[in-house]
Amino acid sequence: MKSEPYFSGEPPALDVLIVGAGPAGLTAGIYLARCRRRVQIVHDGSLRELWVPRSRNVPGFPDGIFGSDLIARMSEPAVRYGAEIAEGRVVEIARRENDECFRARFDSFGTVDARGLILATGVDTNLVKPDGGDHGTAVRDGVLRYCPICDG
């Protein structure tokens, strides 16, 4: 029995494209890059973790960690092991014709082909506008909370 080739056209540039650079996307990127896979992690810049003043549910940080610090610390090993992190918004994802690869088109840097795809896009938050205040200030000051587990 003869199996079909995984891709029939040009080999994809990536083994895995990860859409989303929060904790889930970065964890996937770290492990895949450590396994010597060609990985690109793409995010649109709207990481929810950047709003979190102090996350208290991250192992190894008993006193909590700022969301921005968590993302920075998780990005570092992903890049060190060879993953690329880029900012861009996905416009379209589809299967390439005649093979099992994916083609993703972005608003800022064209298209990327990958053998595998991980969607780690998180949730879409409906922003609450605090009475007479600024959203970012309300989150930072603990007046407005999105996650009772993370925010404590």
Q: What is the CATH number of the domain that holds 117?
A: 3.50.50.60
Structural domain of 84:
14-124
- Domain assignment present for 151: no
Helix residue ranges, H only, 86-144: 135-140
What pLDDT, on a 0 to 100 scale, did the predictor assign at position 2?
Answer: 37
Three-state secondary structure of 2-58: CCCCCCCCCCCCEEEEEECCCHHHHHHHHHHHHCCCCEEEEECCCCHHHHCCCECCC
The residue type at 151: D
What pLDDT, on a 0 to 100 scale, did the predictor assign at position 96?
Answer: 84
The predicted-structure confidence for 115-128, as pLDDT tens digits, reads as follows 999 999 887 666 66
- Domain assignment present for 144: no
- Domain assignment present for 148: no
What pLDDT, on a 0 to 100 scale, did the predictor assign at position 127?
Answer: 67
For the chain, the domain total comes to 1
64 vs 82: CA distance, rounded Å: 28
- Domain assignment present for 152: no
Greatest mean pLDDT range, 1-5, 78-82, 86-90, 147-151:
78-82
Q: Is the pLDDT of residue 151 over 60?
A: no
The predicted-structure confidence for 40-58, as pLDDT tens digits, reads as follows 999 988 887 877 778 888 8
What pLDDT, on a 0 to 100 scale, did the predictor assign at position 83?
Answer: 96
- Domain assignment present for 146: no
Q: Is the pLDDT of residue 69 over 70?
A: yes
More confident call, 75 vs 50: 75
